[in-house]
Amino acid sequence: MQSAPLHCDTVVIGGGLAGIVAALELLSAGKRVTLLDRDSEENFGGLAKESFGGIMVVGTDEQRRAGIRDTPELALQDWLAFGEFNPTDRESWPRRWAEAYVNSSAGEIYRWLKARGISFLPLPLWVERGDTTRGNSVPRWHVVWGTGQGLMLQLIVCLHSHPRRDLLTLRFGTRVDGLIEESRRIVGCHGRSEATNLPFEVRADAVLVATGGINGSMERVRRHWHADWRTPPQTILNGAHKFADGTLHDAVQAVGGNLTHLDRMWNYAAGVHHWRPRKPGHGLSLVPPRSALWLNWRGERIGPKPLVTGFDTRDLVTRICAEERQYSWQLLNRRIALKELAISGAEFNPSIRNGSRLGLLRDLLFGNHWLLKEMTTNCADLVVAASLPELVDKMNALQGDDGVNLSAVSEAAAHYDRQIERGEPYDDDQLRRIALVRQWKGDRLRTCKFQKILEPKAGPLMAIREFIISRKSLGGIQTDLDSRVLDASGAAIPGLYAAGEAAGFGGGGMNGLRGLEGTFLGGCVFSARRAAAAIIK
């Protein structure tokens, strides 16, 4: 039996970063808010709670103290180049969102978060510097002390301790299936309880869709696979939300909302199977060591230009997907692993997550022994051996055939090591890039100084098999700068708003083809605040 409909001013669908930020703003304006989430209360906070917590902001105190001169103009140039925006395009919603983001990130995102008790690591990191296309000209990736977990726990505290907390109704385990339309206006939503399967309805003046992207559905990821990446790989790991299945994208489309750029995704190249999976195909995204050699399934170094992380994540995915088998290997040794191996997210960065400055310093100075032990003990995609022949045998055993060729692996490692022995200036592009990134102190601490692969004292040797891992939807529900959902003619649908990853972080794809990194969490805060401001108005 259906319970009586709930009534409120705004119903927020989705309790991730976007939904929570919007709820906070709406409460502050005295609105009665109902927030619905399909997940259980322990997962309140969505993907951001699992995230690394890196946020792209322009013109911060941390940048100034580190001597970084950054401006919205510079950031916009980087953004438009990296996203491959059409230079003549001044009017599209993604373009306008990009411009609005860089112009207001310092106030609307950074200071807003700081005012709610969130702080950042002292040194911004320099990610996505760009390769054949220009990327971040300066470091802008501000990591939250406490990672994404700290970010979300703090915002949830703000929500529960809000002076108008009594205006908020929270409902977990409630799956929204569709929107209610009356007289060409969206007036609510309906769905079912996950536990009882009983139907429910919520009626409101405004409905905000903040249900995340589509990248948790491998069927949708495959359906919208970008043409640049050939056919979808046989194995795609899931690094997105288990409920990011596009149900609300369909619901928005059913009432006339426009979906755009769904083939634009921010997937990663270095996924491994999670050893404590919480969803089918659960993957972890490695921060691939720069000093490791990136090999194809035969054990040949991928080239002629070697793959190195930190410049263009999308290109890494494109290059691996162009291989006959669309997965890869990284060849390294213990010394490289200790200094450079990392996994994106809160779960495997306990020092930052727990706000332990001492722990972070220890990991940087002496190597991350905890993570290496965790991986060598549990990670099914990592093999360790004392010699190259033994390592190749183990790689082939894992691969299930004799595809990895010992002489190809030996040749790749010996050639690379010979280049290091010869010294600078380097011919090898990977070594040139290592030299470049080591010029920035934030990277120097985490990058070996030209480490040979076969150096006996740096062993044992290791190889990691890496799959493409699905992560963020760059496209989504098209919105204007008030986060109002637009129909195919460009008109706003009365009563309907979308924010966060559901809206491609703003405008149905504000990043364009590539994201400068950190624009995802930042985009959730920004688009949610825009939605709340418009609803309040």
Ligand X SMILES: Cc1cc2nc3c(=O)[nH]c(=O)nc-3n(C[C@H](O)[C@H](O)[C@H](O)COP(=O)(O)OP(=O)(O)OC[C@H]3O[C@@H](n4cnc5c(N)ncnc54)[C@H](O)[C@@H]3O)c2cc1C
Binding residues for ligand X (CB under 6 A): 13-19, 36-39, 46-48, 50-54, 148, 175-176, 210-212, 239, 241, 243-244, 247-248, 344-345, 472, 500-502, 518, 520-521, 524
H or E stretch at 191: strand 185-193
Q: At what angle do helices 93-104 and 519-536 cross, to 10 degrees?
A: 100
Which CB, 278 or 422, lies closer to ligand X? 278
Q: Which has the closest alpha carbon to 466: 330, 342, 340?
A: 330
Residue 510 CB, nearest approach to ligand X (Å): 12
Which CB, 296 or 473, lies closer to ligand X? 473
Residue 316 CB, nearest approach to ligand X (Å): 17
Both tokens of 167, joined, read 């205006």
Which CB, 57 or 321, lies closer to ligand X? 57
Residue 337 CB, nearest approach to ligand X (Å): 20
Q: Is the peptide bond before 460 cis (omega within 30 degrees of 0)?
A: yes
Q: How far apart are CA 72 and CA 105, in angstroms?
A: 9
Which CB, 241 or 465, lies closer to ligand X? 241
Q: Which has the closest alpha carbon to 453: 428, 483, 472, 425?
A: 428
Which CB, 360 or 463, lies closer to ligand X? 360
Which CB, 55 or 138, lies closer to ligand X? 55
Q: How far apart are CA 349 and CA 118, in angstroms?
A: 18
Residue 20 CB, nearest approach to ligand X (Å): 8
Residue 379 CB, nearest approach to ligand X (Å): 16
Residue 339 CB, nearest approach to ligand X (Å): 21
Residue 517 CB, nearest approach to ligand X (Å): 6
DSSP 86-146: -TT--SSHHHHHHHHHHHHIIIIIIIHHHHTT--B-SS-B----BSSSB--SS--EEEBTT
Three-class secondary structure of residue 342 per DSSP: strand
Are 338 and 365 in contact by the 8 Å Cβ rule? The answer is: no
Residue 16 CB, nearest approach to ligand X (Å): 2
Residue 43 CB, nearest approach to ligand X (Å): 6
Question: What secondary structure letter does DSSP report for 307?
Answer: P
Q: How far is CA 506 from CA 99, 276, 285, 450, 479, in A?
A: 11, 33, 24, 41, 6
Are 201 and 2 in contact by the 8 Å Cβ rule? The answer is: yes
Which CB, 56 or 68, lies closer to ligand X? 56
Which CB, 218 or 461, lies closer to ligand X? 218
Report the C-alpha dihedral over residues 394, 400, 405, 409, rounded to 10 degrees: -40
Q: Which has the closest alpha carbon to 13: 35, 33, 32?
A: 35
Residue 63 CB, nearest approach to ligand X (Å): 17
DSSP 414-468: HHHHHHHHH-SSPSSHHHHHHHHHTTSHHHHTTS-SS--SS-GGG-SEEEEEEEE
The Cβ of residue 88 has, within 10 Å, a number of other Cβ atoms equal to: 6
Question: What secondary structure letter does DSSP report for 213?
Answer: -
Which CB, 39 or 430, lies closer to ligand X? 39
Which CB, 306 or 512, lies closer to ligand X? 512
Residue 385 CB, nearest approach to ligand X (Å): 29
Q: How far apart are CA 375 and CA 425, in angstroms?
A: 35
Angle value at C-alpha 133, between 102 and 480, nearest 5 degrees:
35
In terms of Cβ atoms closer than 10 Å to its own Cβ (0-12, 13-18, 19+), residue 257 is buried
Residue 318 CB, nearest approach to ligand X (Å): 21
Which CB, 11 or 81, lies closer to ligand X? 11
Three-class secondary structure of residue 502 per DSSP: helix
Beta bridge mates, 389: none
Which CB, 179 or 431, lies closer to ligand X? 179
Are 528 and 500 in contact by the 8 Å Cβ rule? The answer is: yes
